[in-house]
Structure 1
Amino acid sequence: MPIYEFYCPQNNTLYQFLARSFAERDQVPQCPDNAAFRLEKRVSQFAVIGKAREESEDDPFAGIDEGRMENLMNEMESEMSALDTDHPDPRQLGRFMRKLTDVMGDKTPPELREVVRRLESGEDPEKLEEQFGSFDENSPETDPVFAQVKKLIRSARQPIRDPKLYDMRDWVK
């Protein structure tokens, strides 16, 4: 009987579900903490083999030295734990994004550079979102670079691992 891991981006938590049959392998259960949250299937870390990451032209971080990116992510992990994701300090968010754009180098779009500059000066992120468009990576009008940066920021925070093992049958609608 396989155990599947699912990640909830809304509460940054990993859950484990026991599937009693392989017929459940394509099902996505409800979040145990909030049925309104959506879960994403993840590959367990122990099962990852080699470097299976595909680079695409839409990825502003494609081609960047993986060692350099890993060092940056480790450095920023402690900064992310101090960042209030509900009400972030614009200057702190700007410093964080500056590090990301420095790694991107000439791939950084001018709009993103402007957003970073204005965050660093303390400008309200909501006003910037109004001017530059949605920063929601799931929104169709979001610039792909903004979406990638937002995903990277979210992934820099290590998820909380729920210690429980849930029965898939109980959480699938």
Structure 2
Amino acid sequence: MNNLFLTGRINVGKSTMIKRIIEQLNIRKEEIGGFYTRPYIIDNQVKEFYIEPLNFNCKSTNIRDRMIGYTSDGIKRIGNTATFENIGVEILDNCIKNDFKLIIMDELGFFENTAYQFQRKVHETLDNKKVIGVIKPLSIPFLDSIRERKDVVEVEVTKDNRENVYRRLAKELMCRY
């Protein structure tokens, strides 16, 4: 298993599981690159999403410059391709060029549907690094291209199995690091 992606319904604990697994591994924070996707809350509602890099200094510290998607009505979500093609590609270039032991990609989904340069950079990163990430449980060409890779293992997380999955993955991954 070179690259591991967790999948499952929203709020089942996929990102939390990644953080818990990392805590178990013998890897310092400085040895981890990649990104997390974070919600941007306005008036107690998730209105936008931004990319939060790990061990990479963006040119702008303003969260608004790192917006990857938004929702105006609380239902339909729209991606911001330019952020993926610029900041997303810069983050992944940084991951490839540096000697990180692990790359986090949390999460890959439909926002980057038309961010083709970013998609290519994701595949290049998977070719060259060990990745743990989250992938939305959707069948779209980009996500399917990741699932079809021979060096990718996808594990479904549910509320019922998450503790067992966590223990199994933490044990397997501890042997690798």
Higher strand share: 2
Question: Structure 2 length normalisation: TM-score?
Answer: 0.27
Q: Which structure: larger Rg?
A: 1
Higher helix share: 1
